Chains A and B, each alone.
Chain A
C-alpha cells in the first residue's frame, strides 16, 4: 500500500465564539496535528467531551476552525469563516454522523439513493451499486420501509451505506455504533470491515471505545482531555482479516490495549 498522504491536519485549534460580557470560551482543540494516508483505517479515541465531534465537523467543513490548516489531497481547505465553508468539500469527504440522520419521508432505498440524486449521478450502474450495498448489509426486503419502521441497527446500516454508495475518497465516522447494543454493534463492525475490505477506502473513525478502536483500525490516535491534542499514536499490526469477536484473545491485543488505556484519561 502506497503511504501517500491524503489528509493533513496542522496545528488545528478551535474555540467557540465568545458571548458578550463573558470570559472567552476555553479551547476545545489546541495545536492538533496528524496525517491520514491513502487507504488507511485510522481510529481516534478520546474521552467523551474531548472535542472529537467538533474535530470531525471541522474536517467535514460544517464548522469553522479558529486556527491551523487542513489539506486534502494537498489542497488547503477553507476553514477560517463560516461563509467560505464547503460542506463535504465537493463530495470528497463522506460523513457518517452519530445519529443516523435518515430523511424520515424517504424509504430505505430512497435514502440510500439520496446522495446520488442530488449529485445527478443516478444511473443503472449506481443503482446496481446501491442494491449491492443494501444486500451486503442485510437490508434486502426493507427497501420500501420508512426509517420509523426499521430497527436502530438497520437505520445505522442504511446511514452507513448511504455514504458508501457515492464513494467519497475519505469517510469520517463519528461513533456510528455508539447507541447500539453489544451484539448489533459487533455485527455492524464486521459489516464495516467486510465492506472496507472490498474497496479499502480511507476512513477516520472516532470512538470512545478502545476495543473498537483496536478491532477496526490500522493505526490509533489518542486524544487528550479537552483541549484536544494528540496524546499518543499506536500502530496496530494485528493482521487482517480480523476476527472481531475474538479480537481480545489475540496476543497483540492486551499490550496494545494497555498502552492506549494509560493515555486515555
Chain B
C-alpha cells in the first residue's frame, strides 16, 4: 500500500527508467539488424529483381524524399487516412454515449454493428470508387467505415465497463445525469476509446493504401501499383517503408495524446501500452 513512496526519490526513479528504456532500445536495434540481415540475405538469394536490397531501398527512399516525390505521395495518403479517421472515429466514439440511456436502441443496432464490424470492408473499395469516383472522397469513405466499427465497439466496451458504485456515489453527492456523463462515464471510457484508436490507426492507413491500389493517380498505394507494373520491386519496397513510417507517426501521435489524457493511470501500465 506504499506505492506513493516511489516518488520519494524522483531522480533515482527517473534514472532507473531511463536505463530500462535504453536497454529496450538496444534490444530493438538488435532485432532490427537481424531483420535487415534476413532481408539482405533474401535479396542476395533471389536477386534484386525479385527482392530489392535494403541499401538500394534506402538510397531510393533518400532520393525520393529529396526530390519531394515520396513526400507528395505520402502526404496525400496521410491526408486521406487522417480525414477518414476523424470522420469515422469521432462519431463512433460519441455514439455509445448518446445510446447509453437507450439500451433498447443499442440492442436493436447490435446485430447490424456486429455485421458491419465483421464484414470485409476492403471489399467495399470498388463500390466506393463507383459511388465517389477515383478522387480522394472514395478513399476517405473507405477509411472512415473501416475505423468506425472498431472504435464503436471499443467505446461501447468503455461505457459498459462503468463502475455502478462510482455512479451511485456521485448521485448521493448530488450529481445529476449530465454530471455523471461528464465526470464519470466519459473519463472512465477514455482508456477504452484510445485502445480503439490505437487498433484502428493502422487500419486507416491500410485502408487508404488499398483504395489507392485499386484506382488512383497519387498516394503511396498508387506508387506500389505503379512500381509493381514496371517490375520495380525496389520501388514497391520504398512505398512500403514509407507507409510503415506513416504508421509509426500515427502510433506516436496516439501515444502523445493518450499520455496527456491518461496521466491519472498507474505509470507502468501506461508505459507498457505506449511501448516505450
Residues of A in contact with B (beta carbons under 8 Å apart) = 60-62, 87-88, 90-91, 93-95, 97, 99, 101, 103-107, 114-115, 117-119, 142, 145-146, 148-154, 162-163, 166
Residue among B1, B174, B264, B266 making CB contact with A91, cutoff 8 Å:
B174
Residues of the B chain whose Cβ atoms lie less than 8 Å from the Cβ of A105: 187-188, 190, 264
Which 5 A-B pairs give the minimum distances between C-beta atoms? A88-B172, A87-B171, A115-B173, A118-B175, A105-B264
- 9 A–B contacts, CB within 8 A, in A order: A88-B174, A105-B188, A106-B264, A115-B173, A117-B179, A118-B173, A118-B179, A148-B264, A151-B4
- Whole-angstrom CA separation of A60 from B183 in the bound complex: 21
B164 to chain A: closest residue by CB? A62
Residues of the B chain whose Cβ atoms lie less than 8 Å from the Cβ of A106: 264
B261 to chain A: closest residue by CB? A105
- Whole-angstrom CA separation of A91 from B175 in the bound complex: 9
- Whole-angstrom CA separation of A118 from B179 in the bound complex: 7
A118-B170, A149-B7, A151-B2 given; 4 more Cβ-contact pairs under 8 Å:
A91-B174, A93-B172, A146-B263, A152-B1
Q: How large is the interface on B (under 10, 10 to 19, 20 to 34, 35 or more residues)?
A: 20 to 34
Question: Known contacts being A99-B165, A103-B184, A118-B183, is A151 close to B3, with CB within 8 Å?
Answer: yes
A100 to chain B: closest residue by CB? B169
Instruction: Indicate whether B176 reaches chain A with its CB closer than 8 angstroms.
Output: yes
Residues of the B chain whose Cβ atoms lie less than 8 Å from the Cβ of A104: 264-265
A95 adjacent to B169 (CB under 8 Å): yes
- Whole-angstrom CA separation of A104 from B173 in the bound complex: 17
Instruction: Indicate whether B166 reaches chain A with its CB closer than 8 angstroms.
Output: yes
- Whole-angstrom CA separation of A157 from B250 in the bound complex: 42
B264 adjacent to A151 (CB under 8 Å): no
Instruction: Indicate whether B28 reaches chain A with its CB closer than 8 angstroms.
Output: no
B1 adjacent to A153 (CB under 8 Å): yes
Residues of the A chain whose Cβ atoms lie less than 8 Å from the Cβ of B187: 103, 105
B266 adjacent to A114 (CB under 8 Å): no
B172 adjacent to A94 (CB under 8 Å): yes
Instruction: Indicate whether B21 reaches chain A with its CB closer than 8 angstroms.
Output: no
Main secondary structure of the interface of A (DSSP, over half): loop
Instruction: Indicate whether B217 reaches chain A with its CB closer than 8 angstroms.
Output: no
Question: Known contacts being A90-B174, A105-B264, is A62 close to B1, with CB within 8 Å?
Answer: no
B265 adjacent to A118 (CB under 8 Å): no
B4 adjacent to A150 (CB under 8 Å): yes
> What's the minimum C-beta distance from B121 to chain A, rounded to whole angstroms?
33
Instruction: Indicate whether B168 reaches chain A with its CB closer than 8 angstroms.
Output: yes
- Whole-angstrom CA separation of A101 from B188 in the bound complex: 13
B169 adjacent to A97 (CB under 8 Å): yes
A162 to chain B: closest residue by CB? B173
Question: Known contacts being A114-B183, A149-B3, A151-B3, is A101 close to B176, with CB within 8 Å?
Answer: no
Interface centre among A101, A118, A146 (most CB of B within 10 A): A118
> What's the minimum C-beta distance from A147 to chain B, rounded to whole angstroms?
8
B172 adjacent to A151 (CB under 8 Å): no
Residues of the A chain whose Cβ atoms lie less than 8 Å from the Cβ of B176: 118
- Whole-angstrom CA separation of A145 from B263 in the bound complex: 11
- Whole-angstrom CA separation of A88 from B169 in the bound complex: 9
User: Using a CB-CB cutoff of 8 Å, which residues 120-169 of chain B contact chain A?
Assistant: 165-166, 168-169
A151 adjacent to B1 (CB under 8 Å): yes
Residues of the B chain whose Cβ atoms lie less than 8 Å from the Cβ of A150: 4
A85 to chain B: closest residue by CB? B171
Question: Known contacts being A103-B184, A149-B7, is A60 close to B265, with CB within 8 Å?
Answer: no
> What's the minimum C-beta distance from A25 to chain B, rounded to whole angstroms?
20
Residue among A101, A148, A154, A166 making CB contact with B165, cutoff 8 Å:
A101
- Whole-angstrom CA separation of A152 from B3 in the bound complex: 10
- Whole-angstrom CA separation of A60 from B174 in the bound complex: 12
A115 adjacent to B174 (CB under 8 Å): yes
Question: Known contacts being A87-B172, A95-B172, A118-B183, is A148 close to B2, with CB within 8 Å?
Answer: no
Residues of the B chain whose Cβ atoms lie less than 8 Å from the Cβ of A151: 1-4
A148 adjacent to B174 (CB under 8 Å): no
- Whole-angstrom CA separation of A91 from B179 in the bound complex: 15
